[in-house]
Structure 1
Amino acid sequence: MNIIDAHPHIYADPSEQDKYPTIDDPWHPGEPSTAEDLKSKMDEFGVSRAVFIQTSTYYGHNNRYVMDSTRKYSEWATGVATLSPDDPEHLDVLEDAVNNYSVRGLRGTSDQNGEINSANVRRLWRKARDLDVVVNCMVMDDLERVYEIELMARQHDDLNIVIDHCFMLNTVRKTEETLLALERLAKLPNVHAKLTSGTHGSSRIYPHEDMHPPLKRVIEAFTPDRCVWGSNFPNALWSKGTSYAQNLSLFTDELGLSQSDQEAILGKTAERLWFS
């Protein structure tokens, strides 16, 4: 089965901090997390390709490490840049990343006022559409943005949008409201779900049984053809210690998915979005 990791974060070796400076008070990964470290995990568990996600909690809007790594490893990886919609110069940064570094996505965050349906966000998302790359919409659990995302998706129906972390879907707070929001967006054919909530949304240890029904409900709403899997690497930081292998086996062994559903969620959808 072709497996693509649609949500790993990568961090340069600490010896390269002068080349890739961090923000003040960065969130450290907790384990070796270079692109090469990720590839070792992928090779061990049969994952063929990856979509590097720029992490703003470490590098802010400096995408240099993701860009350099994406260009260096373009035979098995692409990248998603995190940029500010309020900085007009970031339009050029995105174009450079796409045209010269093999980046295939934009992490679409809200503007300085916390909004999605604003002139600045629309400007950046239009640039992503014109460059034919995917927008990974990341608004954490701000469900007040759902109507704005819906409006943007309708206005840009030729733009593929992925809801990062499914609005931080979890079993402790706002569970039903989040599922209803996702089901609403699932009616739009250009909106997709990134199923990374199985670990960080659970209040239980692996195999996170409490998250099985919510995940299955999201899959039913979007269909497997609009769902993607991601490892949340480095897992020491982002998966509460649930290992890379367990993040994968949650979908291959624990959820009871059919072979065809696994093939779509673990590979085919991501291949269409980021590698076609």
Structure 2
Amino acid sequence: MQDTKLKNDPSTMLSRRTFVGGVMATTAIAAARPTAIASPVDVAESNVPPNWIDAHVHIWSPDTERYPISSQFSESDMRPKSFTADQLFEHCRSAGVQRVVLIQMSFYQYDHAYMLDAMEANPGVFSGVALIDHRRPDLTKRMKSLAQKGMRGFRLHSRGDAKDWVDDPGMDELWRTAAHEGLAVCPLINPDDIPYVDALCKKHPDTTVVVDHFARIGISGKMERDSLDQLCRLARFPNTHVKTSAFYALGKKRAPYDDLIPMIKQVTEHFGPERLMWASDCPFQVEDGHTYEASIALIRDRIDFLSASDKQWLLKGTAEKVFFA
């Protein structure tokens, strides 16, 4: 869960495959088109392939000359060394995942070239969440520019400084601009940071917010009851959402992750399925014996209190509404 470019070189060329009928068919980029979008209920009641959406994936290239990383990182931070669009598709194919929300990898910092190249090479498959410096003087202009290129949200990284976000003028501009432009703010926070996000939601109730990875509740191995209650209090803001994701890193950290079901039930009771979205957090979900199938199966197969329609929202509808509309 820690967030520790492909043009003409055949060895690093991004896949130009799009997802059709639950699998990806190889096609020329000029012929690729987004698949038709049906409502969650329509899909639940038909024989159409599932067309699931993975709402949180990081990709990067081993070619650091073409796609250099930030000076704040070293190549040793790139673990695994490579996780390209093609490598991602190998995991998505059998799970029926046809679209993906890409989250900018931190060691690229504010250079989104690799993500943007992936999005251009795979039209209709990817949406994006960018990183941005909220202190830059041209913040609103930069946000609009990235949105025109397909970015649908902006990620906030808490590094113990979330308490400073509430009264920061740049952060205020970021949240206001996101609301005005129909973009999402996506905080990656720890449990102690929830009150500060709460305060920002109160100041900016019209801003779409997507909290990553249950606010990392359970990363210590324990489900912190007070923190979970605080997270659920965010449900009083109707534009706030939660990603049910990064199962490999929470609770017992062992598949099939059934120990996380009570936490999923509580957030479902407060937010409703229409404001929850499943995500794998690849490539970290497919390391150390964890699998992509185990992650999606927790929501798809193992939770009896979720109806078929509920699962459609978690596995497709909510992410579609926020990141692909």
- Relative to the length of structure 2, the TM-score reads 0.76
The C-alpha deviation readout for 1:166-217, integer Å capped at 9, x for no partner, is 1102163461122111111012111101001432102242012221211221
Q: In structure 2, how many angstroms separate the alpha carbons of the residues matched to 1:242 and 1:77?
A: 24
Q: In structure 1, how many angstroms separate the alpha carbons of the residues matched to 2:137 and 2:112?
A: 16
Answering whether residue 68 of structure 2 is matched by residue 21 of structure 1, we say yes
Number of residues of Structure 1 aligned to a counterpart in Structure 2 = 269
Q: In structure 2, how many angstroms separate the alpha carbons of the residues matched to 1:74 and 1:154?
A: 36
Q: Which residue of 2 aligns with 1:46?
A: 96
Q: Which residue of 2 aligns with 1:250?
A: 298
Matches within 5 A, 1:54-133: 54-56=104-106, 58-99=107-148, 101-110=149-158, 113-114=161-162, 115-117=164-166, 118-133=168-183
Q: In structure 1, how many angstroms separate the alpha carbons of the residues matched to 2:251 and 2:223?
A: 13
Contact 1:108 1:125 (8 Å CA) reproduced: no
Whichever of the two has the greater Rg, that structure is 2
Q: Which residue of 1 aligns with 2:210?
A: 162
- 104-113 or 2-11, which moves further after superposition? 104-113
Change (3 A) 1:204 1:275: closer
Q: In structure 2, how many angstroms separate the alpha carbons of the residues matched to 1:265 and 1:232?
A: 15
Change (3 A) 1:215 1:63: same
Contact 2:214 2:242 (8 Å CA) reproduced: yes
Contact 1:251 1:262 (8 Å CA) reproduced: yes
Contact 1:231 1:248 (8 Å CA) reproduced: yes
Q: Which runs of 5+ in 1 are unaligned?
A: none
Q: Which residue of 1 aligns with 2:234?
A: 185
| Runs of 4+ in structure 1 over 4 Å off | 110-113
Amino acid of the structure 1 residue aligned with 2:66: K
Contact 2:217 2:228 (8 Å CA) reproduced: yes
Q: In structure 2, how many angstroms separate the alpha carbons of the residues matched to 1:236 and 1:263?
A: 21
The C-alpha deviation readout for 1:59-103, integer Å capped at 9, x for no partner, is 22322212222233231111000112223345433222111x211
The one of 10, 13, 33 equivalent to 2:59 is 10
Q: Secondary structure at the match of 2:97?
A: coil
Change (3 A) 1:182 1:41: same
Q: Which runs of 5+ in 2 are unaligned?
A: 1-49
Q: Which residue of 1 aligns with 2:279?
A: 230
Q: Secondary structure at the match of 2:281?
A: coil
The one of 195, 213, 228 equivalent to 2:244 is 195
Change (3 A) 1:142 1:169: closer
- 170-179 or 107-116, which moves further after superposition? 107-116
Change (3 A) 1:232 1:128: same
Q: What is the RMSD computed on CA atoms of the aligned residues?
A: 2.2
Contact 1:9 1:234 (8 Å CA) reproduced: yes
Aligned sequence identity (%):
28
Q: Secondary structure at the match of 1:97?
A: helix
Contact 2:246 2:281 (8 Å CA) reproduced: no
Q: In structure 2, how many angstroms separate the alpha carbons of the residues matched to 1:236 and 1:225?
A: 24
Amino acid of the structure 1 residue aligned with 2:150: S
